[in-house]
Each structure stands twice: as C-alpha cells, then as structure tokens.
Amino acid sequence: MHKSLLKEIVLEQEKDRLDIDTGIPRDALSVVSRHASLPHAVVVSGVRRCGKSTLLNQVISGLYNPVREPAAKPKASSNGVYYLNFEDERLVDFNVEDFNHLYEVFLELYGDKKVFFFDEVQNVPKWEVFVRRMQGKGCKFFITGSNASLLSRELGTKLTGRNVTVELFPFSFMEFLFFKGFHLSENSLSLTAERAAIKKHFAEYLNHGGMPEYLKYQDATILKRVYEDILYRDIVARHGIKQVKPLRELGLYLLSNIGGTFSYNNLKKILGLGSMNTIKSYADFMENSYLIFLISRFSYSLKQQFVSVKKIYCIDNGLAEAVAFQFSKNKGKFLENLVFLELRRKFPEIYYYKTTNNLEVDFLIKSGKNDLKLIQVADNLDNEKIRQRELNALIKAMDELKLKTALILTEDTEEEIALEGKVVTVKPIYKWLLGGGGLEF
C-alpha cells in the first residue's frame, strides 16, 4: 500500500478516535491494565461491537495519556502510542509486507514510540510475524480480534508464551446498571425502592442484553447488522462459503433454540444438508466468531463428551431477540442464557448433566480437578409440578455425583431447601449477578 494512503488513514482514524466518548469503565479494564507492564502482547477477543475498541481507548487514556484535569472529559491521544483499526475498508489490500510502511508512517507522524494498539488485526494474514519482530525490539502490543480460532492459531505460531488473552463480552448486569446511571450502594438490595429499581433494570437487561451501541440507540437494526456482519464478513468471506442459504438457516435455527439441545445428525435432516461435517463446520465458525456457544453433556469420558448432544447459547439476549424466529417469548430460556453468559465469563469448563433416569440439570461447572457444582435455572418455583421437577433432577444428580449442595436460580424466588441430607439454595438471578455470579452456595 502507498504510504500516503496509510498516512491519511492513520490521521483520520486518530481524529475520529479522539472524538469518541471513552464510555463506562469495563470490568475487563483492570485485567488488561494489570498486563500492561508485561512484555507480552495483550489480546482482547470478543464478538463484534461488544466494546473492544472502546476498551482500547480506555487503556490509552488511563495508562498512556492520563487526564491531568479531573473536570476535563477523558480523551485518548496518540501522544504515547501508535493506533490503527484494520476494519477500515481502505485497508482491505493491506498485507504483512505493508507493516513496515505503516511503521515508517507512525515514526514520521508521532516519532519513536514503543506501544502499538491494533484493532481487528486478524484481517491481515501473518500479522503475528510483525508483532513478534517488534517485540524483539522491546515494543508492547494491545490487539483486538473477533475470531477466537484465528487468533489462537496465529498466536500459537509465533507468539507462544509471549501473549495473554482477555475475553470481552457485552455488558454484564453490573456494567448495564452503570450504563443506565444506577449506582449500587451497600444497602441497595435491602431498600425497597432501590431493589424495585434494580428489578426493573434487570427485566430490561433480560430482554435487551448488553450490546453497548444497541443500548445507546435502542434500534434493533443495529443488532441485525452485527448478525449479518458475523455471517458474511467473519464466516462467508473468510471461509469462502458458496452456499449461503444453509448457513443462514442454521444461524436462525440455533438462535431460535437457545437453551435447547441438538445433534449434528438431526440438524442435517432438518436443514436438508447432505453432510453432517458441513453442519459442524458452520457451527464451529459461529462459535469461533462468538455468536454462539455449545456445551457438552458432562461425562468422565472425553469420548462421550465429544459425541454427546450439544446445548446452545447465544452471546447476547438482545441479539437473539432481534434475529430469532419465535412465536412467543420464553422467559425461562432467556434467564438460562443470562446465567450461562455469567458463568462463561468466569469458568472455562461448563457442561449440562443428565442423570441415569434422564433428568436434566442445566449446568455442571468443573472449577477444579474434582470440584463440581450444579446449577438449575427456573422462571419460578410457584408451580408445584415445576418445583418437584427441578428438585428431583437436582437431588438425583447430587446423589450420583456425591454432592451435598446445589443452586437454583430464579427470576425472584429466594429460599433454602433442606432435603434428604442435602441443601439446595434458591436465589434470584439479579442478586446472584450482583454478588459476583460465583459458586459460593
């Protein structure tokens, strides 16, 4: 690429970035900041439009260009860093050889700096070669990407042991409250008016999710555009898919069935595709793009986990609501999806559990070699039939796994149930989320 065009892009992007509000502090900001002093590249991965670029701006503002006047609106600056967003369509032909031209442009514009911020760098094949070379010269890199598989593959080739990865999700419930201007006090859950306000915000969060741009403008076309960009830019274009219709049908099916189970063989029949491998590849592409998550049935046999029927979850309730085909809203599945997302933020090993008599527990979390926790999600326990169904599944699973405690998360029920020498804690999801979404029960 010609240096004059690169210079134009760098200057325009810097001007645009300076005008962008740095937004609310993200929970991940402290994690990324902790890694700033390391020589490793810090890689922030996550779904499109979840706030990765904003997070980079917050890092720049807080660490490399701190605001000296408290009253001033915090703005980022390239005074101490180099920045480029590779999503710019003018960079579509940028390749690994152009990095040297880019570096020359940075030097001419800003002088010799040691910190690089690259947004969506995965769009450039072999980007890791340049990063590794500059790391050898003592440079620090902050990188974002929206494809987990591509990033991990490229990081594994040249940057093994020289990178740390941080996943960014849409707003957590705590971040959502902050975005809405609601600030928790020590007694918020004990005060009737504040608790009512929290529950009202939770009802909105349940349906609208946590995608920052959508929450700002309340326009569902924003979420539909995110979905289209994932399908066409992250999957179709990147993997050279010719037949787009089956991919769209699969995406619609999966987002319309969050919390449900499926097998690749059954999906092949439903969608009329000739190859089960095609279905699996398409689902993998969607998972690598952070659109969906698939979890397996828990088993001590890895082979059984691999071949088990999978459960489906989506990166954001609002996105699923905007895209999915639903005759009526299923609050229970949206509650379950919220719980999954909070667990996924913290724990890498999440499964569902089926008892020997085929009763299902929504989540089994493996947080240590032999440390297992069971969590069931229900809209409420007011209906005696539903109450018994949820408890029977938990008690049977606890017997089989030799556990003494378990958790049921509901929309608003709170109690503690002692049964057959076991204790089942029942807690509202909004309280669980505000308490850290952990496994202490």
Residue 213 lies in a domain: no
Map residue 117 onto helix, strand or coil.
strand
pLDDT score at 109? 95
Residue 240 lies in a domain: yes
Residue 50 lies in a domain: yes
Residue 212 lies in a domain: no
- Taking the chain (441 residues) in runs of 10, the rounded mean pLDDT of each run is 96 91 93 94 96 95 66 49 96 96 97 96 91 96 90 79 94 98 92 96 97 97 97 94 92 95 91 86 96 96 91 97 79 96 96 98 91 96 95 97 97 94 97 93 82
> Is pTM, for the whole model, over 0.85?
yes
Partnered with residue 45 across adjacent β-strands are 145, 167
Question: To which H or E segment does residue 41 belong?
Answer: strand 41-45
Residue 214 lies in a domain: no
Q: What is the DSSP letter of 73?
A: P
Count the neighbouring beta carbons within 10 Å of the beta carbon of residue 354. 19
Q: Are residues 96 and 228 in the same domain?
A: no
How far is residue 382's CA from residue 263's CA, in Å, rounded to a whole number? 33
**What separation, in Å, do the N-terminal and C-terminal C-alpha atoms of the chain show?**
58
Residue 225, phi-psi category: left (phi > 0), alpha (psi -120 to 50), beta (remainder): alpha
**One-letter amino acid for residue 209 of the chain:** G
Q: What is the DSSP letter of 26?
A: P
Residue 344 lies in a domain: yes
Closest alpha carbon to 118 in 257, 98, 108: 98
Q: Are residues 135 and 45 in the same domain?
A: yes
* Pairing label, strands 422-428, 415-419: antiparallel
**One-letter amino acid for residue 349 of the chain:** E
The CA-atom distances, in angstroms, between 125 and each of 121, 136, 382, 390, 436 are: 9, 20, 55, 49, 39
Give the CATH number, domain containing residue 248: 1.10.10.10
pLDDT score at 72? 41
Q: Are residues 9 and 94 in the same domain?
A: yes
Q: Are residues 357 and 421 in the same domain?
A: yes
Give the CATH number, domain containing residue 122: 3.40.50.300
Count the neighbouring beta carbons within 10 Å of the beta carbon of residue 330. 18
Q: Are residues 41 and 186 in the same domain?
A: no
Q: Are residues 322 and 335 in the same domain?
A: no
The CA-atom distances, in angstroms, between 145 and each of 44, 49, 69, 226 are: 6, 11, 33, 15
How many domains does the structure of the chain reveal? 4
**Which string of b and e fits 257-274 if b means at least 16 CB within 10 Å?**
bbbbbbebeebbeebebe
How far is residue 327's CA from residue 325's CA, in Å, rounded to a whole number? 7
CA atoms within 13 A on the CB side of 341: 30
- Give the range of the structural domain holding residue 202, as residue numbers without chain letter: 174-207
pLDDT score at 75? 43
Q: Are residues 100 and 202 in the same domain?
A: no
DSSP 238-272: HHT-S-HHHHHHHHHHHHTTTT-EE-HHHHHHHHT
Q: Are residues 163 and 19 in the same domain?
A: yes
Judge whether 291 and 230 are in contact, CB under 8 Å: yes
Q: Are residues 195 and 229 in the same domain?
A: no
* Pairing label, strands 310-314, 261-262: antiparallel
The shares of helix, strand and coil residues in the chain, as percent rounded to the nearest 5, are 50, 15, 35
Q: Cα 109–14–56 angle (5° rounding)?
A: 115
Q: Are residues 40 and 178 in the same domain?
A: no
pLDDT score at 150? 73
Q: Are residues 413 and 433 in the same domain?
A: yes
Q: Are residues 112 and 183 in the same domain?
A: no
